[in-house]
Amino acid sequence: MKCVIEGNSVKVFGKALHALSRVGDELWLDPLEKGLALRTVNMAHSAYACFLFSPLFFQQYKSVAELLQNRGNLKCKLTMKPVYLEAELMKAMHTEMSLNPEEFDYFQVGVDSDITFCLKELRGFLSFAESYCLPMAIHFGSPGKPVCFSVEDMVLEASVVLATLADPESRTPSQNPGPQEEARIPIVLRCDGEMDSHDPTASQPPGRADVTPQQGSVEERIASSQGSPVFSGLARMRDLLQLHKVCSLGNRGVVSSRAEQKFEEPACATPMPWKFRSLLFGAVSGLQADGGVSSPPSLVCCSDTEEEAGEKNQDCHRTERSDLRCFIEACTSREKGWCTHCES
């Protein structure tokens, strides 16, 4: 495999790697015709992330056909440095935020939904999306079904697929995490909706999307990965890739700019195995009625993840910022592993 990345794109590539390292310890490199895919799965096999860099991203990208001629079936796996989080099971602060559907570029919620997933694997991804001001699509269904976060621009697509708790009622913490298991910070995403409408031009009911972090549960054990006695990593990866394909089919239909308000039904030959509700955060920039660009409100100041002890907090007002990330940064601390929780 031979790819050449020019200067400015190296930074993007690095940030993608950083986001992937927040999910799993091993990185799979997959040179495809449509681009270079970087994939990872976490230790519990409950989270999957993928970054696909199109050939346009590279200064030079040797096609797969050429590679296969020489090497046959090419696989490449790297180990990334693991990051362990020390969780403090102390009394945690609980936080809740409500977002009105009008804040989203696109908001379609058919029925009330309430999902719980781990925040840790998402943070790196959000950080990446925020750095490049990419609108984010969220697809999710009923509890237990995965949730998919995805972004795309002209030269890359990226997504993270996370398992959700099958039974949202069981929110009590299970046994303490083992020494290798990273502590998890669960978050509850709750949506209210009334109509199930695929017509974006129909006026949406005033639903509410609550993003509510979850207290207490330190360890998520998803039934499917925990219960099976014989575990095949590759099979699991295939399942998750299948989900990713479904997500991306749906995603392509849903991405829309504020100005255009276009929507296409996802074209699926086979019936989707899961039902999705989709949300788009459009809070990056927006055109006001007078044609001016509104600067979105900044929820919080700089992230605390990279701060050294003793460094003075700075007041930052960055005008282009993923608001979900702001909120999540405020709720969690990687160093302390606090859980945050909310009630509606």
Partner 1 sequence: MKFRAKLVDVGCLNHFTRVVNTISKLTKTCTLRLTTDNLFFMLSDKVANGGVSMWCELSQANFFDEFQLEGVSAEANEIYLEFQPENLSRALRTAQNAKSLKIKLTKKHCPCLTLAAELPSLSSVSRVVTHDIPVDVIPRRLWQDLKEPSVPEFDVSHRVQLCRLITEAEVSIYLPPLKTMKNVVDRMKNLSHHLVVEANLSGEMNLKIETDLVSVSTHFKDLGNPSWGDDSSQGPSQDRAAEVMACARVDIKKLQQFLASQQVNPSKAMC
CB of 188 to partner 1, least distance (A): 14
Query: Nearest distance from residue 251's CB to partner 1, in Å?
Result: 22
CB distance 151 to 133 below 8 Å: no
- Using the Cα atoms of residue 121, residue 213, residue 194 and residue 261 in order, give the sign of their dihedral: negative
SS3 at position 39: strand
**Site of interaction with partner 1 (CB under 8 A):** 91-103, 215, 282-283, 286, 294, 296-301, 310, 312-313, 315, 326-327, 330, 333, 336, 341-343
Angle made by CA atoms 265, 241, 271, in degrees to the nearest 5 = 40
Which residue's CB is nearer to partner 1, number 92 or number 158? 92
Q: Which is nearer to partner 1, 54 or 285 (CB)?
A: 285
Comparing CB distances to partner 1, the nearer of 96 and 239 is 96
Q: Give the count of alpha carbons within 13 A of 193, CB side only.
A: 22
- Residue (58 or 107) nearer to partner 1, CB: 107
How many Å apart are CA 108 and CA 280, to the nearest integer? 9
Please identify, using beta-carbon distances, which residue of 273 and 297 lies nearer to partner 1.
Answer: 297
Helix or strand or coil: residue 326? Answer: helix
Say how many C-beta atoms besides its own lie within 10 A of residue 127's C-beta.
20
Can you read off the two tokens belonging to residue 274?
């899961």
Shortest CB 42 distance to partner 1, Å: 26
Q: Nearest approach, Cβ of 297 to partner 1 (angstroms)?
A: 4
The secondary structure of residue 137, as a DSSP letter, is E
State the nearest-atom distance from the C-beta of 105 to partner 1, in Å.
10
